[in-house]
Structure 1
Amino acid sequence: MSPSSPSSPPTHRRIAAVVVLVPVLVALALWAFAWPAARTAPRDLPLGVAGPAAAAAPLEQRLERQQGAFELHRYADEAAAREAVEEREVYGAVVAAERGPKLLVATAASPVVAQLLQQAVTRQAEASGSRVTTVDVVPAAERDPRGAIMNASVLPLALAGIGAGTAVTMLGLLGVRAVVALTGSAALVGAVAAALTHSWLEAVPGNWWALAGTFALAALAVGAAVSGLAALLGQAGIALGGLVIMLLGNPFSGASSAPELLPEPTGAIGQWLPPGAGVSLLRSVSFFDGAAVTGPALTLAWWAALGLGAVLLADALKEHARKAEPAADRDPALAG
């Protein structure tokens, strides 16, 4: 058995570190993924109520009895409520009608929320002796009615970004070269993702180039963040970036449900991280003609800009430090 190097910790300490670290990581992963899933419920879920005041008031009162479940928005008529759903202001709307309430939903925004609203409104309508008519204003893709393919795209994009950031760091690419590598990798990831989900599987509709750009921006945000942290912190930055994206970004993204269904404040945190912002932007670009894209697009852009900026800053600091070294230190032949 070869002896340990003087700078490395003793073998028993390394074994103990592995024995302790693995259960800790498992506990963190279970907390991050299982806890939000076990606490799924509507929390201030944006929902519209439309129709004449006299007819809509009873609907509002019944919905308000579910304290904290819905954030109600009032609209004058069905047309205004439908527009609000299409603009992603609300997930759905209950319209007061003579033959009973009409429910407007958008399965493209979240099949889980659409089903939840149907159950909640139908239950209330049956209790009052009326019948609900449901209209899907913005349906999901015919080839992917449950949104499974779009939800599944979150993890591969996160892995692609983490992989790109790690590769750039391990290959020793610095400064502009690192920026070019990260940008080029993200562009190719965007093209491949759009080709698979849009052209082949036909599960993500919309403009092909807009979709490719969305996928690329999401991958670049992750890759730049990981590479930027690594440039500032060393290889520890890769681990930190990977943990944040995988253990917080993915489970808190609300991709399989909605941010408003996750325990507070995980839904809000998820929308500030690349996976959550990426899936929100993808839904808007794919199904809602670009409605409500500003927030998630800016979030991804900031992650990308800060990460790439950190890469350039770290390289500039290293170059400055190198130039500041005395000539004798840089060239031993000049010493003495």
Structure 2
Amino acid sequence: MVAVVLGVLLLQLGFITSYVAAFHQPTPRDIPIGVIADAGLPAGVDQQVTDKLNAIDGRPLQARVLANTYEARNLIADREIMGAYLISPTGTDTLITASGAGTSAATALEAIFTKADAAQHRTFVVRDEVPVSVHDNRGLSGFYLAIGWVVGGYLLAASIGLMIGAPRTLREAGVHTAIMAGYAAASGFLGALITTHLLGTFTGHLLPLSLLGFGVVFATGIFTMGLRAAVGILAVPLAILIFVVLGNPSAGGAFGSNVLPTFWATIGRWITPGAGTEGVRSIVYFHGTGVLQPVATLTLYAVVGLALVLGFTARAARPTRPVAPQVPATATATATATA
């Protein structure tokens, strides 16, 4: 009982520490943008502005010179930059953002250029090149959809582990895996159906979101099942540590990777909540551009989880070789003397 209480306390403190540390002071860092000089400006103005932006304390921006707005739109669509700044000879510039890639980065860009332009006695207007849906407040719907899929995956795996236990034979392992795959297909489709048709948040993306949902649920669930086969009941707190304590705050929901502290920004894309969140954004707002990295993350979890399930099940099911009884030395000596 003492061990259980201490374990829960550690998870609780880890939850508090992880969330507060990730969200207490979001700071823009290396947000990639392009700088464009409009016609009628002297040559080299764009490079001068780029150098000034890159020299801002804390390096919130990673600016580079672009030829025109056409190039900027293409790079935004390809997810190579998150915005662009068009310098105008009139003194009223244009800040091009892409809130579909993350509202926190778009908001940070507005704050940075508000301060920078005030120092130069200039003004700017904002043009959102990839706006979030009117039903996707602050772009958080994809995050909550991904979290719902993740929770379903590890809850089913934990429930199977607690009520049935780890599989004892490869046949049972196959049954458990099939149950998880069927559940992942159903929950992935239903989650996508709710957001695309029932709520109208992501209209027109039912099939790709269903496939993504299957990947998120199955990867999370089979990895948790693999932990159950490997370490037993400790799999439940380990799954909570990975997917909730570390995965949720680093997923890029409320704050994207360009405003999160380095640790959370680094691990977010390699945990299933972050993979799911980024996958939804890629599908809904960028026609699938950038979805390969989330797919790679989900594939990694699924492969490792399957390997753990099958490997530890095969090890547990391996028959033990009977040990031949040993004849005491005194009995051998007596038998020899009798003979």
TM-score (norm 2): 0.86
Over the residues paired in the alignment, what is the CA RMSD in angstroms? 2.2
CA contact (8 A) 1:277 1:297 kept: yes
Kept after mapping to 2: 8 A contact 1:91/1:105 = yes
Distance 1:93 1:217, change over 3 A: same
Match of 1:34 among 17, 20, 25: 20
Specify the alignment match of 1:73 in structure 2: 64
Aligned ranges 1:36-75 → 2 under 5 Å? 36-51=22-37, 54-64=44-54, 65-75=56-66
Partner SS state of residue 95, structure 2: strand
Cα deviations by residue, 1:260-291 (Å, 9 ceiling, x for unpaired):
21111211111111111111111001110011
Query: Deviation string for 1:101-124 (max 9, x for gaps)?
Result: 221111111112212211211322
* 2:253/2:277 contact within 8 Å kept: yes
Q: Is the 8 A contact 1:62 1:124 kept in 2?
A: no
3-state DSSP of counterpart to 1:234: helix
> Percent sequence identity over matched residues?
26
Structure 2 letter corresponding to 1:238: V
Counterpart residue identity of residue 273, structure 1 = I
CA drift of 1:67 comes to: 3.2
**2:194 counterpart residue number:** 196
CA distance in 2, matches of 1:51, 1:223: 51
1:296 deviation in Å? 1.4
Inter-partner Cα distance in structure 2 for 1:186 and 1:240: 21
Alignment of 1:209-220 (within 5 A): 209-220=207-218
Change (3 A) 1:266 1:96: same
Partner of 1:151: 143
Please identify, of 90-99 and 278-287, the stretch whose mean Cα deviation from structure 2 is larger.
90-99
* Distance of aligned partners of 1:21 and 1:234 in 2 relative to their CA distance in 1, 3 Å threshold: closer
After superposition, where does 1:140-179 map in structure 2 within 5 Å? 140-170=132-162, 171-172=164-165, 173=167, 174-179=172-177
Report what 1:119 is aligned to: 111
Asked whether the 8 Å contact 1:168–1:182 carries over to 2, the reply is: no
Instruction: Kindly provide the amino acid, as one letter, of the partner of residue 94 in structure 1.
Output: Y
Cα distance in 1 between the residues matched to 2:233 and 2:3: 18
Write out aligned runs for 1:221-236 (5 A): 221-236=219-234
- What is the one-letter code of the residue matched to 2:80? E
Q: Is the radius of gyration larger for structure 1 or structure 2?
A: 2
Relative distance call for 1:178 and 1:51 in structure 2 (3 A) is farther
Q: Is the 8 A contact 2:143 2:276 kept in 1?
A: no
Q: Which residue does the alignment assign to 1:10?
A: none
The one of 101, 105, 111 aligned to 1:109? 101
Q: Structure 2 CA distance, aligned partners of 1:74 and 1:182? A: 49
User: What TM-score comes out, normalization by structure 1 length?
Assistant: 0.86
Deviations 1:132-165 (A, max 9, x none): 1211111101112412322322332221011121
